[in-house]
Amino acid sequence: MSTHRIECTVNGEAHSVEVPARRLLADFLRDDLHLTGTKRGCETGICGACSVLLDGEVVKSCLMLAVQVNGRELTTIEGLAEGDELHPLQKNFMQCGGLQCGYCTPGFIMASCDLLKNNPRPSCDEVRHGLSGNLCRCTGYTQIVESVLHAAEEMNHGD
């Protein structure tokens, strides 16, 4: 079994870690870098609780190997806030009831980042399709959609 030195940037911080080839990216983040905000929720790549940004685009970290991110940039939920200042998505998920148990929330927020980057003014339907790779069992999605739309409005006014 091969081991590899992974050099990558996570939330703006450079890391250099030796990992076995079979280390999943999700486990690399959670167990090697101790960033447990990214969650494991299923075994079939469906739930999206493991979603992170790779070079700014949302992927499922349980479907990637750590060796695949050598030389690349990752953003996890822990990297969104600026100090104590919450990212508009984090703030609006809180205020609009976009989370209850919170387990799916980091994944939803990361997927929403990607969605709004590609489509800063999405319709309700576009939000729902853009989040079709994430499952929530608590909210029924209505307040998640509201959270994203409110965040989008806030982010667009900043322009």
Residue number, 15 or 103, with CB nearest to other proteins: 103
Q: Is 10 helix (H, G, I), strand (E, B) or coil?
A: strand
Cβ count near 43 (within 10 Å): 8
Residue number, 28 or 39, with CB nearest to other proteins: 39
Q: In angstroms, rounded to a whole number, what is the distance separating the alpha carbons of residues 125 and 44?
A: 25
Q: Is 100 helix (H, G, I), strand (E, B) or coil?
A: coil
Residue number, 46 or 156, with CB nearest to other proteins: 46
**Minimum distance from residue 93 beta carbon to other proteins (Å):** 5
What are the CA-CA distances from residue 7 to residues 28, 31, 66, 111 (Å)? 12, 16, 10, 24
Q: In angstroms, rounded to a whole number, what is the distance separating the alpha carbons of residues 135 and 29?
A: 21
**Minimum distance from residue 9 beta carbon to other proteins (Å):** 18
Residue number, 28 or 93, with CB nearest to other proteins: 93
**Minimum distance from residue 130 beta carbon to other proteins (Å):** 6
**Minimum distance from residue 16 beta carbon to other proteins (Å):** 17
